């Protein structure tokens, strides 16, 4: 199995980092991460898929090794992220992709696939625990969003790697990471030393300004026109993708849904069972 290569490209005036796996001559798969995460979340999945595909795992601007925005109130939103993704594909000469998106990454894929000018860009769309909009039970939605907001805007700082790992094990307990090695990798690839010497999550705290873009929370208009083949993955105890929203989305003829037992927001796509489901769908 292949190892990742790390690349930096300037897209729309911003330096974007991504890891690439596999042979560029093979069909392309984009794996796009969630709100505070980065492309290394997909290492286990990408390593498996790279036998048959060329895998791209970008860090969204403001995360990982990608550049932080000097205009965060404007740039940290789905419109900017979607345009960045399209320009990255153009820059790399990739006409069509299979897209795997966790949470925010799924919403970006949904937005691209639901934009008439780009409808044919994504052939297969995997949405990992993300819905197209609000639930009939709005309280449910608010609780999930409140939980995320509570830690996004003020990332904590710790003295040691071990303390940061324990923090991640607390807030991401429903991801379903399997063992200590996976937690070590998860923490190592999403941490940075601060000027004061402490260690902290590796994202710009200003990404919380995305919550000012209320339109990012309602994607039903995009959803209605998505023509891609769709796999909707839902964590059984998710507080971000309510069951009634998932059931409504499942009614779309080109959408199939899979529920991952005992996990919440969002399944790590790291087990043989989850990977097999995705592999079969991408075929």
Q: What pLDDT is attached to residue 280? A: 98
Asked if residue 198 belongs to a domain, the reply is no
Residue-wise over 211-247: b if at least 16 C-beta within 10 A, else e? beeeebbebeebbeebebbbbbbbbeebbbbbeebbe
pLDDT in tens, the chain (283 residues): 578 999 999 999 999 999 999 999 999 999 999 999 999 999 999 999 999 999 999 999 999 999 999 999 999 999 999 999 999 999 999 999 999 999 999 999 999 999 999 989 999 999 999 999 977 655 455 566 667 777 788 899 999 999 999 999 999 999 999 899 999 999 999 999 999 999 999 999 999 999 888 888 899 999 999 999 999 999 999 989 999 999 999 999 999 999 999 999 999 999 999 999 999 999 9
What's the structural domain count of the chain?
A: 1
Q: Which CATH number covers residue 144?
A: 3.40.50.1820
Asked if residue 184 belongs to a domain, the reply is no
Asked if residue 163 belongs to a domain, the reply is no
DSSP code at position 26: S
Cα–Cα distance list, 130 to 1, 119, 134 (Å): 30, 19, 11
- Give, to the nearest 10 degrees, the angle between helix 180-188 and helix 161-171: 110
To 5 degrees, how large is the angle CA 208–CA 73–CA 149?
A: 10
Q: What's the pTM value of the predicted model, to 2 decimals? A: 0.95
Asked if residue 165 belongs to a domain, the reply is no
Find the domain containing 86 and state its range: 5-155+203-282
Take residue 212 and report the two structure tokens written for it.
Answer: 């000012």
């Amino acid at each position: 199995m292949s190892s990742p290569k790390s690349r930096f490209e300037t897209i729309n005036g911003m330096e974007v980092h991504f890891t690439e796996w596999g042979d560029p001559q093979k069909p392309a798969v984009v794996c796009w991460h969630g709100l505070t995460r980065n492309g290394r979340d997909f290492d286990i999945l990408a390593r498996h898929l790279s036998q048959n595909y060329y895998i791209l795992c970008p860090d969204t601007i403001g995360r990982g090794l990608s550049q932080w925005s000097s205009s965060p109130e404007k740039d940290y939103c789905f419109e900017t992220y979607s345009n960045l993704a399209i320009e990255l594909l153009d820059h790399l000469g990739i006409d069509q992709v299979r897209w795997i998106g966790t949470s925010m990454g799924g919403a970006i894929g949904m937005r691209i696939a639901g934009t008439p000018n780009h409808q044919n860009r994504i052939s297969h769309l995997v949405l990992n625990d993300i819905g197209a909009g609000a639930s009939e039970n709005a309280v449910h939605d608010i609780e999930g969003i409140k939980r995320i907001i509570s830690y996004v805007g003020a990332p904590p700082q710790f003295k040691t790697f071990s303390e940061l790992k324990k923090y991640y094990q607390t807030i991401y307990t429903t991801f379903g990471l399997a063992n200590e090695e996976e937690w070590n990798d998860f923490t190592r690839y999403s941490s940075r030393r601060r000027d004061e010497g402490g260690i902290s999550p590796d994202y710009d705290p200003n990404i919380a300004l995305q919550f000012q873009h209320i339109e990012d929370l309602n994607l039903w208009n995009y959803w209605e026109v998505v023509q891609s083949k769709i796999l909707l993955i839902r964590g059984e105890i998710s507080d971000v993708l309510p069951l009634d929203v998932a059931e409504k989305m499942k009614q779309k003829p080109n959408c199939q849904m899979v529920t991952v037992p005992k996990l919440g927001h969002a399944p790590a796509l790291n087990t043989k069972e989850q990977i097999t489901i995705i592999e079969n769908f991408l075929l």
